[in-house]
Structure 1
Amino acid sequence: MTDFVKLLTRKNSLRKQCQTLSSADIEKAIADLTEILEEKQAQEEELLAVERERAEKIEAIKQSMQEAGIGLDDLMVLVDAPVKKKVAPKYQITDESGEVHQWSGRGRTPAVFQAAFAKGKTKEDFLI
Structure 2
Amino acid sequence: MTDVLNVLTRKTSLRKACKELAVSELEKLSENLLELVEERKQEEAAVAEKLAEKQASIDAIKKQMAESGLDLSDLLGALEAGTAAKPKGTVKPKYQITDDEGNVHQWTGRGRTPKVFQKFFDNGGSKEDCLIG
| Aligned-partner residue type, residue 85 of structure 1 | K
**Structure 2 unaligned residues grouped into runs of 5+:** 109-130
Structure 1 residues 5-41: Cα deviation after superposition (integer angstroms, max 9, x where no partner): 1111111110111111111111000000111111111
In the alignment, the residues of structure 2 paired with residue 120 and residue 27 of structure 1 have an alpha-carbon distance, to the nearest angstrom, of 86
Count matched residues. 102
Percent sequence identity is 32
CA RMSD in angstroms comes to 2.7
What TM-score do the two structures reach when normalised by structure 2? 0.64
State the match for 1:85 in structure 2: 86
What TM-score do the two structures reach when normalised by structure 1? 0.67
State the match for 2:47 in structure 1: 47
Are residues 19 and 104 of structure 1, via their aligned partners in 2, closer, same or farther at CA, if it must alter by over 3 Å? same
Q: CA deviation at 1:68?
A: 0.5
- 1:8-27 aligned at under 5 Å gives the runs 8-27=8-27
**Structure 1 unaligned residues grouped into runs of 5+:** 88-102, 110-116
Are residues 48 and 121 of structure 1, via their aligned partners in 2, closer, same or farther at CA, if it must alter by over 3 Å? closer
In the alignment, the residues of structure 2 paired with residue 83 and residue 13 of structure 1 have an alpha-carbon distance, to the nearest angstrom, of 62
Structure 1 stretches of 4+ moved >4 Å:
117-126
